[in-house]
Amino acid sequence: MRIIVGVTGASGSVLAAEALHQLGQAGVETHLVVSRSAAVTMEHELGPDALELMRMSASCTHDVADIAAPIASGSFQVDGMLVAPCSMRTLSAIAHGLGDNLLTRAADVTLKERRKLVLLPREAPLHEIHLASMLRLARMNAVIAPPVPPFYARLESLDDVVREIVARALTWLGVDPGSRMTRWNGMKDALTSPARRQDA
């Protein structure tokens, strides 16, 4: 498989780092594109080496200004695109076909080619413009998935929360996250089984 991973300046850079990790473990080819604002957020949230480490985790990295990159064309075959985290600026640009950089152009191509597009928007509370943009994208078959954890999984750490959120995002792209995702097996199982945490 081949997946594009877009990273914007919204808070939640760890979601992108975990996505690249899980995709790599699943043997998926990844094409990374990071917005200018995302680079700033990454440094603040994950440290000065965050961007370089993320680039090392990806199969291929593209400059956000390189509108001639392969992922800017529908003729370049990919299976889908994940934008994590997704800022409201980027979400709005995608919703209105504003391909003003490689990230938004790649998302536009994903939509026009009827491929899977999964967005993890990070904002709260949401106002009418945010909601209208989300509705517009949902009607184009994009998956709008705010990073909300499954509380029934009885997660024990922030790492657990991030792992579960990303695992679910990958399932919507058609990637099997394996044991990283807690699956609901009924109330009896939830009441008797201890919280399971493992990272393959």
CB 3 within 8 A of CB 78: yes
Query: What is the band of 191 on the pLDDT scale with cuts at 50, 70, 90?
Result: low
The pLDDT score that the predictor gives to residue 39 is 95
Within-domain flag for 163:
yes
Which tens digit of pLDDT belongs to each residue from 78-134?
A: 999 999 999 999 999 999 999 999 999 999 999 999 999 999 999 999 999 999 999
- What is the rounded CA–CA span in Å between residue 175 and residue 50? 25
CB 60 within 8 A of CB 95: no
Assign residue 13 the CATH number of its domain: 3.40.50.1950
101 is in which domain, residue-wise?
A: 2-192
Query: What is the band of 189 on the pLDDT scale with cuts at 50, 70, 90?
Result: low
C-alpha distances out from residue 5 to 21, 30, 121, 155, 184, Å? 11, 7, 14, 25, 27
Residue 194 has pLDDT above 80, yes or no: no
Within-domain flag for 197:
no
The percentage of the chain sitting over the pLDDT mark of 70, rounded to a whole number, equals 94
Helical (H) or strand (E) element with 44? helix 36-46
Within-domain flag for 82:
yes
User: Of 149, 148, 120, which Cα lies nearest the Cα of 134?
Assistant: 120
Domain count, the chain: 1
Within-domain flag for 31:
yes
The pLDDT score that the predictor gives to residue 196 is 47
